[in-house]
Amino acid sequence: MGQTSAVYITGCGAHLPGAPVGNDEIASRLGGTDPATARRRARVLAANGIRQRHYATGSSNEELAAAAVELAVKDAGLAMGEVGMLATGTTMGDQLVPGFAAMVHGRVGGGPMELLSAGGVCASGMAALKAAAGAVALGEHDAAVVVGSELVSRVLAEPRFTAGGRSTSDAEFLRWTLSDGAGAVVVSSRPRPDRESLRVEWVRSVSYAHEYPAGMRAGEGWLDAPSAAAAEAAGLFRLRQDVSALPSLFRLGVERVRALVDIRTIDHALVHWSANTFRDRIFAEIPEIAGISFSNLETCGNTGAASIFVMLEEAWRTGRFKAGDRILLAVPESGRFTVSFALLTCVGPAQLVDDLAHVWTELEQRLATVPIVRRIEDSTATIDDYRALLVNLRQQVVEGGRWISRAASNFSAERFELRSAAIRHAAEEHRDFLLLERDFVAVGGDLGEIRLGAKNPGSEALSAFIMQQASRPDPVDLLGAMFVIEGLGTAKALGWARMLQDQLGLADGQVSFLRYHGENDGEHVSEMHRLLGPLMSDPVACAAIVHTARITARLYALQLEEIR
């Protein structure tokens, strides 16, 4: 079992099916137009404050969940095949067997993955989050996706809702409060390099079922029914809510909040309350929450296990969070008295990314003044210029394979990923100088000349500096050198190859080195970004990477400046 480490929410997705349904339309969708029901509906809507909600038509719960999962994975910049775990939470799946997570996995695809189907009601989504965050923190997966999803409207509509007897006030509370939707988050072992992430500080969930009876139930006695049809006719699958139990749940939630956090240190509170009347009571008990709370209950409805993720997705997407903000998630569940909480911290894009971008900007500005580069980009380069470029690059390329191998040998066992990457890189590029030699001969150069060519002062300085860094223990700073050298391949090499071909009438086989790196170094840059992820929270490593990148950039430019 690996050591635990920080985990981050790096993507969010929410799926609310169909067009919003306003308060004047819900009776036409769910039934209940008689005067008594209309009066109860008006009382419930006045209490919960919901103005619109969403109901699925012709969809399954797994379809709603799959849509939210796909949005979250895309938002995180991942492919489904990169997800190692799917954790789901829902009140009622589409069927009793198999588990809900297996059905969602079958719909979203990807590859083999760990599954978890969390049961319960509203807090089941938080249970899924806790399990996924724990698995990623233990190093079992690099990324996991969590989804809470509900398709409750199918048991709220007549005649199913009134099956087995007359509707009651408690049942009507659910009928005019609950709605359909799904929300998902991606939990990753590394923060995003390009935008904010939400670090998961902790997730806490506590049941008080030993002290309280069930407050919400469905399906009681269905196993004793002679048939599924008889259970349906008796209304055994109809959701029932004991509204009188809710004040006790409210008190438990307030007590747990006070025990877990000092609200004065929280910047945003996302609380899953089923009605604005409960919101008002929370504000009265904990006044500090009033100024920091966010809820979209009024516009999205109560989507049960999905609600907290639907809230989080909107709050994050609309820019409510900034780096350093602390976000409290709170989900009380009236199924049988569970209260769940999570604390998140918004972390900005690593400073490392901004610093490296600044290094690159400086390099581009410097290259614009280098004579050989200016002639290539001004369409005034000669064949002698191109041959001189190849002669000078060849000496540095030969050295490249050596310093990469040296770096690999100096990474410790704790840096095995960097060591493995360096070994792969050395194996891929140690023969690249042969491409240079072939290109040189193909444009009229003498093979002996390029092989006997001496390093210019810039090449000497660059080789000496990088070899020195590669000889140190755990030379993680060489990622900065990789950023510059591979970045030049991705950003410049292919463009230079095409310009030289146009200016000098060269064939592809005469610019194969530049074309190869222009077309393939993007993969190396992607690998570099992957390796940078775990280092972004280490300020010493980040400073070293930027320092080496800046020196490498200056010496690489000097190498090109020395080409006469």
What digits encode the pLDDT tens for the residues 372-429? 999 999 999 999 999 999 999 888 888 888 888 899 999 998 888 888 888 887 777 6
Phi-psi region of 516 (alpha: psi -120 to 50; beta: other; left: phi over 0): alpha
Long-range contacts of range 508-512, CB-CB < 8 Å, 24 or more positions apart? Answer: 509/438, 509/439, 509/442, 510/439, 510/442, 510/443, 511/439, 512/435, 512/438, 512/439
Instruction: Give start-end residues of each CATH 3.40.47.10 domain in the chain.
Output: 8-347
What is the dihedral angle through the alpha carbons of 179, 342, 190, 492, rounded to the nearest 10 degrees?
60
Residue 355, pLDDT score: 84
Instruction: For residue 149, report the phi and psi dihedrals to the nearest 5 degrees.
Output: -150, 145
Instruction: For residue 459, report the phi and psi dihedrals to the nearest 5 degrees.
Output: -65, -40
- Residue 505, exposed/middle/buried by CB under 10 A (0-12, 13-18, 19+)? exposed
Residue 50, helix vs strand vs coil:
coil
For 372, 385, 397, 442, 458, the CA distances from 454, given in Å and listed in that order, are: 18, 17, 13, 21, 11
Residue 372, helix vs strand vs coil:
helix
Tell me how far apart the alpha carbons of residues 558 and 564 are, in angstroms, rounded to a whole number.
12
The domain defined by 351-561 folds into Heme Oxygenase; Chain A (1.20.910)
Q: Which CATH number fits domain 8-347: 3.30.420.10, 3.30.9.10, 3.40.47.10, 1.10.287.130?
A: 3.40.47.10
Instruction: For residue 59, report the phi and psi dihedrals to the nearest 5 degrees.
Output: -120, 160
For 55, 267, 364, 404, the CA distances from 292, given in Å and listed in that order, are: 30, 6, 44, 51
Length of the chain: 564
Residue 475, pLDDT score: 94
Specify whether the CB–CB gap between 203 and 192 falls below 8 A: no
Handedness of CA 294, 299, 300, 301 (dihedral sign): positive
- The secondary structure of 101-131 as a DSSP string is HHHHHHHH--SS-EEEEE-SSTTHHHHHHHH
Residue 186, helix vs strand vs coil:
strand
Tell me how far apart the alpha carbons of residues 391 and 380 are, in angstroms, rounded to a whole number.
19
pLDDT tens sequence across 497-520: 999 999 999 999 999 988 888 777
Question: What element of type H or E holds 344?
Answer: strand 338-347
Instruction: Give start-end residues of each CATH 1.20.910.10 domain in the chain.
Output: 351-561
- pLDDT of the chain along its 564 residues, tens only? 344 578 999 999 999 999 999 999 998 888 888 888 888 899 999 999 999 999 999 899 999 999 999 999 999 999 999 999 999 999 988 888 899 999 999 999 999 999 999 988 899 999 999 999 999 999 999 999 999 999 999 888 776 666 555 555 566 788 889 999 999 999 998 888 778 899 999 999 988 888 877 766 666 665 676 766 665 555 555 666 666 666 777 777 778 888 888 899 999 999 998 888 888 888 888 899 999 999 999 999 999 999 999 999 999 999 999 888 899 999 988 777 888 999 999 887 767 877 888 899 999 999 999 999 999 999 999 999 999 999 998 888 888 888 888 999 999 988 888 888 888 877 776 677 888 899 999 999 999 998 888 889 999 999 999 999 999 999 999 999 988 988 888 888 889 999 999 999 999 999 998 888 877 766 767 777 778 777 776 778 888 999 999 999 999 999 999 987
Tell me how far apart the alpha carbons of residues 532 and 552 are, in angstroms, rounded to a whole number.
17
Residue 333 C-beta-side C-alpha neighbours within 13 Å: 31
Residue 238, helix vs strand vs coil:
coil
The partner residues of 338 in beta bridges, in order of sequence, read 207, 333
Residue 242, pLDDT score: 66
Specify whether the CB–CB gap between 182 and 147 falls below 8 A: yes
